[in-house]
């Protein structure tokens, strides 16, 4: 009876139909485990214990088969990464064979075009796609990209992450490309001492993009403000027909402007939610967007009464207009400029979106309705907790979570923190306290999956780990907070061995697989 109760408590085993055994699952498990394998128990039971009920057998077999299928997907992804590296090397060799090494400069210039034509004809792809494949292969096989190509061949960096690295490298000059590539490969495909992929340290797609952009800024030849001034001249709005009487309306805008627009749409759509509202959140956002542009106000709800909040972390010296330099101390500004290096003004970050230049950060701070400054304790971080005196976190705790988590903390999810909910990792109903070491931001979808018990979460970070020196940040356009985290050397190694920094969450999937998600290790440029 106890087994039956435990089985019914498991959401994966609730009876929606009579238990049935899929023979293909048996074949899959047998194929992966092998006959007589240690991981497979073909005995009829164990001494002193009865056989499990049929439902438990079916559920257990399904879980084991699902876990094996996920492992197979991981293996196929690694193999695809290695094949992508081989394809890049093969395409580069094809260019060489078609005149890439010719002494005739015109023949060398035509070699990539000739190779693209061969690829287009052989693979039956468009000329544009073939040219993109060839040019990407030529770029990846340059000597500077050796660390990235090596990581691809080892299966640590899939092709989709390589594209993110190449996109982020646009502002990096040729002389800094090798250093950027080495650091980018370590970020996108972190490895253990034995050379295998450290899956727990792989950033989510959104976090990877943000870290790569910061890394590119470190190696860029021009400061962000100068590049933004040039890009601002290309701002525009485009419309593209999409069939079925629909279209895509896109805008190329400064990041701080787009973040404010996105946050306002989210707030308006949230204010329209009600039990009688049949539209989804995405539909309400789209309707509010169209009505604001076409008529000035939404047909339902009030745009003017909606409170929006964009959290921006700004290093304190940026607000004072302090300028640092690349490759020298403050006293060496004139010497650095004489060597051709540029003075760099630290950047700020719109949490969940990306970096902005210092001028934009100062403008946002000047127009902020409120500021929140946070000094971070180097030993224990911000002491934000209310125990079990109340269920809902305080406003200060919510802002702290926005600065720490930035996005939904589910593995791979990048829903901005402004659209996420503060969730008790250990449920309040089971004694979980309302404190920052038991709270995390989750988007509604993944909050539901956790609440229903399909995914389980546990905070494994250590609150007593050492942090960086105290730092202060200011928040613009509403309120915000920032914190400095991370340390180097032996302290960092000790922290990782103990489970990770505060806010580290261990997730367990329905198949029993475990994943770690950590707060982003590198905050905006050092305060």
DSSP secondary structure letters along 329-342: -GGGHHHHHHTTPP
Whether 400 is covered by a domain: the verdict is yes
285 and 405 co-located in one domain: no
Q: Is residue 39 part of a domain?
A: no
SS3 at position 133: helix
Q: H helices within 190-280, ranges in order?
A: 205-219, 224-232, 255-271
Last residue of a domain, one of 177, 201, 229: 229
Last residue of a domain, one of 193, 208, 229: 229
**Whether residues 138 and 258 fall in one domain:** no
Residues 355 and 405 in one domain: yes
What is d(CA 405, CA 411) in angstroms, rounded to the nearest whole number?
A: 12
Same domain, 242 and 223: no
Domain contains 328: yes
DSSP 435: B
Is residue 196 located within the same domain as residue 339? no
Tell me the C-alpha distance between 206 and 504, whole Å: 17
Give the 3-state secondary structure percentages of the chain, helix then strand then coil, rounded to 5: 50, 10, 40
Within a domain: 54? no
**Contact 491/407 with Cβ under 8 angstroms?**
no
| Overall domain count for the chain | 3
67-99 b/e with 16+ CB inside 10 Å = b? bbeeeeeeeeeeeebeebbebbbebbebbbebb
Q: What is the pLDDT of residue 347?
A: 66
Residues paired with 435 in a beta bridge: 385
C-alpha separations of 354 from 253, 270, 357, 365, 474 in Å: 13, 23, 10, 17, 16
**For residue 279, what are its two tokens?**
């539209």
The series of mean pLDDT values per 10 residues for the chain, 527 residues long, is 53 49 64 54 50 66 82 92 94 92 88 92 91 94 93 92 92 92 92 85 85 88 86 92 91 88 85 87 90 77 54 62 40 34 57 72 68 45 54 79 85 84 87 86 91 90 48 37 36 46 87 84 42
**Residue 290, domain extent:** 233-295
Q: Are residues 469 and 397 in the same domain?
A: yes
Considering the domain boundaries, does residue 7 fall inside one? no
Assess whether 223 and 279 both reside in one domain.
Answer: no
pLDDT on residue 526: 37
Tokens 């309120």 locate to: 479
Max intra-chain CA distance, the chain: 84
Mark whether 359 and 446 lie in a shared domain. Answer: yes
Q: Report pLDDT for 193.
A: 86
Question: Tell me, what's the pLDDT at 385?
Answer: 56
Residues 200 and 121 reside in one and the same domain: yes
- Asked if 348 and 315 count as a contact pair (C-beta separation under 8 A), the reply is yes
Task: Identify whether 427 is part of a domain.
Answer: yes
Query: Do 455 and 345 share a structural domain?
Result: yes
Residue 62 lies in a domain: no
Whether 105 and 243 share a structural domain: no
CB 311 within 8 A of CB 481: yes
Of 195, 229, 263, the position where a domain reaches its end is 229
SS3 279: coil
Q: What is the pLDDT of residue 256?
A: 84
Instruction: Provide the CB-side half-sphere exposure for 160 (13 A, CA).
Output: 8
Give a yes or no: residue 525 inside a domain.
Answer: no
Give the span between the Cα atoms of 118 and 110, in whole angstroms. Answer: 13
265 and 409 housed in the same domain: no
């Amino acid at each position: 009876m106890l087994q039956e109760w435990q089985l019914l408590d498991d959401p994966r085993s609730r009876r929606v139909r009579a238990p049935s055994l899929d023979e293909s699952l048996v074949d899959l498990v047998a194929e992966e485990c092998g006959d007589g394998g240690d991981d497979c128990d073909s005995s009829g039971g164990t001494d002193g214990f009865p056989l499990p009920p049929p439902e438990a057998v079916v559920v257990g077999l399904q879980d084991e088969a699902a876990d094996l299928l996920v492992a197979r997907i991981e293996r196929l992804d690694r193999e695809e990464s290695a094949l992508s590296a081989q394809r890049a090397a093969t395409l580069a060799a094809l260019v060489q064979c078609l005149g890439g090494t010719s002494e005739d400069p015109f023949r060398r210039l035509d070699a990539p075009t000739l190779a693209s034509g061969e690829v287009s004809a052989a693979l039956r792809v468009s000329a544009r796609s073939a040219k993109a494949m060839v040019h990407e292969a030529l770029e990846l096989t340059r000597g500077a990209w050796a660390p990235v190509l090596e990581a691809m061949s080892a299966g640590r960096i899939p092709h989709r992450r390589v594209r993110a690295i190449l996109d982020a490298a646009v502002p990096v000059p040729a002389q800094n490309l090798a250093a950027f590539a080495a650091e980018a490969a370590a970020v996108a495909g972190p490895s253990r001492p034995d050379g295998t992929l450290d899956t727990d340290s792989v950033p989510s797609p959104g976090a990877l993009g943000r870290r790569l952009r910061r890394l590119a800024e470190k190696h860029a030849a021009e400061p962000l403000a100068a590049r933004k001034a040039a890009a601002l001249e290309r701002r525009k709005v485009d419309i593209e027909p999409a069939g079925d009487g629909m279209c895509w309306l896109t805008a190329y805008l400064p990041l701080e402007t787009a973040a404010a627009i996105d946050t306002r749409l989210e707030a308006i759509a949230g204010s329209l939610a009600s039990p009688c509202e049949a539209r989804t959140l995405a539909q309400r956002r789209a309707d509010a967007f169209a009505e604001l542009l076409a008529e000035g106000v939404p047909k339902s709800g009030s745009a003017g009464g909606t409170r929006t909040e964009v959290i921006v972390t700004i290093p304190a010296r940026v607000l004072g207009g302090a300028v640092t330099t690349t490759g020298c101390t403050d006293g060496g500004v004139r010497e650095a400029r004489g060597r051709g290096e540029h003075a760099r003004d630290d950047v700020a970050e719109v949490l969940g979106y990306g970096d902005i230049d210092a001028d934009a950060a100062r403008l946002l701070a000047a127009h902020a309705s409120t500021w929140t400054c946070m000094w971070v304790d180097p030993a224990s971080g911000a002491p934000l907790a209310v125990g079990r005196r109340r269920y809902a976190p305080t406003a200060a705790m919510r802002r702290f979570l926005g600065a720490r988590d930035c996005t939904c903390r589910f593995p791979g999810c990048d829903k901005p923190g402004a659209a996420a909910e503060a969730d008790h990792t250990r449920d309040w109903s089971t004694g979980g306290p309302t404190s920052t070491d038991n709270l995390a931001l989750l988007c509604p979808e993944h909050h539901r999956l956790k609440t229903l018990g399909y995914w389980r979460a546990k905070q494994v970070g250590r609150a007593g780990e050492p942090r960086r020196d105290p730092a202060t940040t200011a928040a613009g356009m509403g309120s915000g907070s920032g914190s400095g985290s991370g340390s180097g050397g032996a302290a960092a190694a000790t922290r990782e061995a103990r489970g990770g920094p505060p806010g580290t969450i261990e997730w367990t999937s329905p198949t029993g697989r475990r994943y770690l998600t950590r707060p982003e290790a590198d905050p905006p440029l050092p305060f």
